[in-house]
Structure 1
Amino acid sequence: MNDKPLVLIVDDDLFMLDFIFDALSETCNVITAENGKTALQLVQQQRPKLVLADVKMPEMDGYELCRQIKNDFDISDTPVLFLSALDGIEDRLQGFDVGGEDFVLKPTNPKVLQAKVAHVLQLIEERQQLKSQAQYATNTAMLAMVSMSETSLLIEGIKRFNNCSVPLDLAQALISAITLFEVDSVVELILSEGSSIAINARGPASALETSIMHHMSTMDRITQFKSRMAITYPHIRVLISNMPEHDDDRCGRLRDNLAILIESTEYRLEALNIMMKTRERDITIAATIKSLTQALSQIDQKQREGRTSIAIILNNITSRIEAALVGLQLTERQESSLVNIVCHGLEEVSNTIIADADFQDQLSNAIKALQNTINNA
């Protein structure tokens, strides 16, 4: 493999052309041109590492050749070394103005010429390395700035999820967050009861969009086909329709960022489902407590009414027995014995009612506590 640098020599003096060719051919691949016009074409076609140009040439001299090389964007990095018998300050300034590297005086010593060319080629190599390093640093810095910007968009999108209290709001927030990354999407949320919400930025998703998401959901978690990409989680399906398929770096970052965004949405949807179930359970419990409280309150009222009725009945029984004893013409002993039996029985009934009254008071207190809980909820 020939790794010698390609050097172009331009001189209308054929003797000087052969002389320089012989001096450099051992360390360089040398090509030659006898005029500026031909030299410019060779530079454009073969892109030599270095051009050695005679200053004094007809039609296009070395200065004009250098100027045209520097004005051509594609070859403007090509260094030019001037060959001249003149070494005045004006000549050097003119060479500097057109972008030349240095002067080599005629007639020249082959060793000096070789050293000058080697030095310029070394400078060129160092410049290219520095340029490459600078470009790498610039690209790294730009990538870091882009990543920071995309991270900010990611955080902003996730923050929006915290304000969502129902699944539809969450689906719309996810659409909005994905739009921040300058891509279009269709989002489907699978709800706990088996139903779903499918929308895009314009409103409800079309049947075709939904069918594509259903089909791609059977594939890998992240599936990309040209500019379309599907990301599937247990309760969320997302279809991106305009992935930058020709920009591999951005495509990769988008896959990562959107996957994080959708996974965060999955967690928020699970939290919403739990909140909804908890809310439904609380409503059911509250309704049950209210119904139980009403039933117990009615029982309490009936029992209190029953106790009052029993007390009245007992009093009536006592009065009727006393009235009946007067007409029976019993002896005092018989009357006393019968009255004792009746009073003893009534006393037992009264004691039972009093015992029930304590339980009744406890029940009433429990009912009042339940009512206070319902009123304060």
Structure 2
Amino acid sequence: MVTDDDRAVVLVVDDDRFMLDFIADSLGEHYAVHCAAGAADGLQRARALAPALMLVDVLMPEMDGYALCREVKDDFDIGDTPVLFLSALDGIEDRLRGFEVGGEDFVTKPVNPRILQAKVAKVLALQQERSQLKSQAQYATSTAMTAMTSMSETGLLLEVMKRFNQCGEARELAQALQESLALFAVDGVVELLLQGGSGIALNGRGPASELEISVLHHMATMDRITQFKTRMSISYPHCRLVVTNMPVDDPDRCGRLRDHLAMLLEAAEARLAAINNASLASRRGDAISGTIETLTRVLADVDLQQRQSRADALTVLNGVLMRLEQSMVGLGLTERQEEALLALVREGLEDVYSSQQAEAGFQDQLSVAVHGLQQAVHGSSGR
């Protein structure tokens, strides 16, 4: 929900009056902040306001923040509202509980206004992106489910793997992996780890929350496949998955799903490696092409400069011979002496000419090589 002045509505629920005022002051410049002094009041206001985001204190009397979040997520009208928890507790058990009830992230107490503002802005941006992708994802899932209903689980697995092989980019692969979960009627979060340390994490609505990502990272430190009640994680070096609603009431289907999803993760891991290798090969090819083009330009310049240097040298030597002949008049030499001196100089010049003629063959070979490189570079670049 947004107000008439286009500011997003943020609902803060906390039994501490000072904390309510502090957060309202911290966010009031950019958001329309509403406050509720307890969980019951917060739930009532959430249903009335349909806020863009809720900030909920974890420790409250009668109903704690986790229970309030569960009530919000179970309400059809406001179930998509993102919830940020306010708490001095930020251990992995607390995060797992927050993840389990559908929270987005934790803001630790004492609250730093800048961190609070940054997390609120990030969650609202993610929520906007999710709403844009929601209709597309629903349509894609519906279409896929219709096409796959008559197929066996094994056939479905093969179709999903076939789609993986058609993915040319990591983000496309992550989206295909996330959408495949819906085909097996489970919900979860997937993450692909990319070169350079970055990653792509998605849930069924779009980009994953910070809380979901932290749970993924924690579960990745355990065994390859770890299941606890309805949650199951599968971790490969560059692909991770956490499923939140494993059908534990159907042990046979639960076991098949575990095997199928493990195979999907292994296939995604292999496809991601192929995508990374193709990207690396492309970058290396570009680097080699750039190096060859630079080398071609340098050799062409060397060829031109050497030809010019040879021509300049011949011009200088001819000029020296002409000046020497002109200077003979003033040296007082006999005609025989002049002829002997000129003969000596001419022999030296002929040696120089012969040397340059020998180099001319190598120069022509260099020119041919440069021309061939230019043809190859221009041909490969389409010019």
TM-score (norm 1): 0.59
1:368 maps to which of 365, 368, 371: 371
Q: CA deviation at 1:231?
A: 0.5
1:316 aligned residue: 319
Distance across 2 between alignment mates of 1:368 and 1:203? 53
Letter in 1 for 2:339: S
1:281 aligned residue: 284
Letter in 2 for 1:190: L
Q: How is 1:201-280 mapped onto 2 (pairs within 5 angstroms)?
A: 201-280=204-283
1:51 aligned residue: none
Q: How is 1:47-86 mapped onto 2 (pairs within 5 angstroms)?
A: none
Q: CA deviation at 1:332?
A: 2.4
The answer to whether structure 1 residue 338 and structure 2 residue 374 are counterparts is: no
Structure with the greater relative contact order (CA < 8 A, sep ≥ 6): 1 or 2? 2
The answer to whether structure 1 residue 188 and structure 2 residue 191 are counterparts is: yes
Identity level (%):
52
1:32 aligned residue: none
Q: CA deviation at 1:322?
A: 1.7
Letter in 2 for 1:334: Q
2:159 aligned residue: 156
Letter in 2 for 1:206: S
Distance across 2 between alignment mates of 1:327 and 1:291? 54
Structure 2: which 5+ runs fail to align?
Answer: 1-148
Aligned with 2:197: secondary structure?
coil
1:304 aligned residue: 307
Deviations 1:220-265 (A, max 9, x none): 1111111111100011111111111111011011011111111011
Q: CA deviation at 1:147?
A: 11
Distance across 2 between alignment mates of 1:264 and 1:213? 19
Structure 1: which 5+ runs fail to align?
Answer: 1-145
Deviates more, 1:283-292 or 1:323-332: 323-332
Aligned with 1:193: secondary structure?
helix
Distance across 1 between alignment mates of 2:375 and 2:180? 45
Q: CA deviation at 1:148?
A: 6.1
2:46 aligned residue: none
Deviations 1:331-370 (A, max 9, x none): 2221121011101111121122222222221111111121
Q: CA deviation at 1:187?
A: 1.0
Distance across 1 between alignment mates of 2:248 and 2:311? 88
Distance across 1 between alignment mates of 2:159 and 2:181? 11
Distance across 1 between alignment mates of 2:329 and 2:320? 15
Deviations 1:2-54 (A, max 9, x none): xxxxxxxxxxxxxxxxxxxxxxxxxxxxxxxxxxxxxxxxxxxxxxxxxxxxx
The answer to whether structure 1 residue 176 and structure 2 residue 179 are counterparts is: yes
Aligned with 1:243: secondary structure?
coil
Superposition misfits of 4+ residues, deviation over 4 angstroms:
none
TM-score (norm 2): 0.58
Letter in 2 for 1:315: N
Aligned with 1:229: secondary structure?
strand
2:358 aligned residue: 355
Distance across 2 between alignment mates of 1:276 and 1:221? 27
Distance across 1 between alignment mates of 2:357 and 2:176? 66
1:137 aligned residue: none
CA RMSD, aligned part only? 1.8
Letter in 1 for 2:218: H
Letter in 2 for 1:266: E
2:200 aligned residue: 197
Distance across 1 between alignment mates of 2:377 and 2:300? 14
Q: CA deviation at 1:171?
A: 0.7
Deviates more, 1:329-338 or 1:244-253: 329-338
Distance across 1 between alignment mates of 2:272 and 2:249? 33
Letter in 2 for 1:345: G
Deviates more, 1:250-259 or 1:179-188: 179-188
Letter in 1 for 2:205: R
Distance across 2 between alignment mates of 1:177 and 1:356? 69
Letter in 1 for 2:280: K
Aligned with 2:192: secondary structure?
strand
Q: CA deviation at 1:154?
A: 0.6
Distance across 1 between alignment mates of 2:320 and 2:330? 16
